[in-house]
Structure 1
């Protein structure tokens, strides 16, 4: 069993770690996504439509972790760790989202060393973590967050799973670690989401290398200071219910089979003017569409709001 103490913290040590359903879920073609370091661009580019769809249809992938994201290890099996992710709320486990990751993609750090007064969050689509001399070390996703060590004129020195690194100051926002990112209004959620129009859907995706529908909703809320559940059905249950005639940009729309009466299967943002911003399905990119006359109009089953709810607290 991996040693885990109150003084130690397990964190993600690769740009994006995929959370798998079981230790046998990953295939040979998935190797670039289970190594350390990972090459997420190479992995996604190598997948055909069929091998991509299989991540969902064969129940292989659950979620993903960003560089530096903390986990709790609950069990180990060979070279794999069963973890829960406290930053991704889920009804599957009250402690956080559960699943399996290769142990090689995690590293143990001293909890005190990982704490800082301020945190840097990546606000660009992607950004290179740099060494002290300016060399590219690791390409990081939007909303990767790392503890701040020091602020310079052009770069921010951050603590990483591999020691000190540097991020361009223009590519991050710095916030109080105790207070979190500043809470924004709904229009900010869709403004952040607009930049990803055209980005290919990726099942289980929680990074700007590729989002699934609920991962997209989760990440845009995170960027505006809100922690929401990881999965669409949990997102529908936990948010403040909004009548359809009172929808505002940034609200979440939910869709179910059997013209809204069956199992919930999709989530998107209300964009305004009868439109939706969403990450639709494998083989398609994030898009803004008019709801009228589409299957989504018939399947609409709920709407929730997180940004207003959080502001009222």
Structure 2
């Protein structure tokens, strides 16, 4: 059964049993992600019980529904070839799902966050709708507000047109994608995060490309396999740096944020600093740099531009 996320941000869990007391704010029907993130300490922010996050309207394949209110799903819009060729597998609260529409995604949220209202300039129904959220118009704009089909709501909800953008017909440039990623500078690091409230290294790359309708894989090692290698020194801003230790797979990714010079520069969600930062590569980071890749125009269509 195909379903869609009705929460502004739904967290994908490794199992219902792995959920901790601190995670309670993320489990409600609409999920209070700011409260969840602010309630965790720095160790709790990097627990591997969190696999990923899904945005409002994102589709999942429901494989099992348990009597305790949990659903085992496959997130079909987050490629994860090593785990499941259909998408990223995990668990969601059933209350965060609704019936899926067949055609979602003609517009995308371009603001860092926006709110959906019951009428133009009316009462807020859904707050904290994320950058990169894709929804479909439900009619013509009125006075600068656009009606949208939203999972779990029979009547359209309204968003400010200024906070939306049409999904582009042509692939974005690397510079455009980097520009979106830069807007998340200083966002808190959360393992598995894919939101402007908390994000991890591969989530930052996934979300920045998602803003332009390009469906990059969710995890760094899959992102490496899905992109085109370059020779070190050929990189330009918006390309991707990959990191690994000898004999081990890719464990980290970041955006090239400047042309290479005396030191390479990278924008990334940093595990040790627990923030999205822009910094020169030095020390262990420089020592573990193993590759630079590009999302080329030819690969975009293969990756699934929506």
TM-score (norm 2): 0.90
Determine the structure 1 residue equivalent to 2:106: 119
Higher helix share: 1
Conserved in 2, the CA contact under 8 Å of 1:188 and 1:224? Answer: no
Aligned mate of 1:301, from 290, 294, 299:
290
> Where in structure 1 are there 5+ consecutive unaligned residues?
none
Deviation at 1:282, TM superposition (A): 6.0
1:151 partner SS: coil
1:104 partner SS: helix
Determine the structure 1 residue equivalent to 2:256: 270
Alignment of 1:153-168 (within 5 A): 153-161=143-151, 162-163=153-154, 164-168=156-160
Q: Deviations over 1:124-164 (max 9, x none)?
A: 10001111151112120101111111231401110001231
Deviation at 1:300, TM superposition (A): 0.6
Conserved in 2, the CA contact under 8 Å of 1:201 and 1:282? Answer: no
1:244 partner SS: coil
Whole-angstrom CA distance in 1 between matches of 2:220 and 2:35 = 28
> Where in structure 2 are there 5+ consecutive unaligned residues?
none
Deviation at 1:189, TM superposition (A): 1.3
Determine the structure 2 residue equivalent to 1:183: 171
Determine the structure 2 residue equivalent to 1:253: 241
Instruction: Verify: 1:20 aligned to 2:13, yes or no.
Output: yes
Aligned length: 291
Name the CA shift for 1:283/1:104 in 2 (closer, same or farther; >3 Å).
Answer: farther
Whole-angstrom CA distance in 1 between matches of 2:300 and 2:14 = 35
Conserved in 1, the CA contact under 8 Å of 2:72 and 2:91? Answer: yes
Whole-angstrom CA distance in 1 between matches of 2:286 and 2:272 = 20
Whole-angstrom CA distance in 2 between matches of 1:36 and 1:29 = 16
Conserved in 2, the CA contact under 8 Å of 1:279 and 1:286? Answer: yes
Aligned mate of 1:85, from 63, 68, 75:
75
Superposed structure 1 runs of 4+ greater than 4 Å apart = none
Name the CA shift for 1:312/1:247 in 2 (closer, same or farther; >3 Å).
Answer: farther
C-alpha root-mean-square deviation of aligned residues, in Å? 1.8
Conserved in 1, the CA contact under 8 Å of 2:133 and 2:211? Answer: no
Q: Deviations over 1:228-257 (max 9, x none)?
A: 111000011111111112111111111112
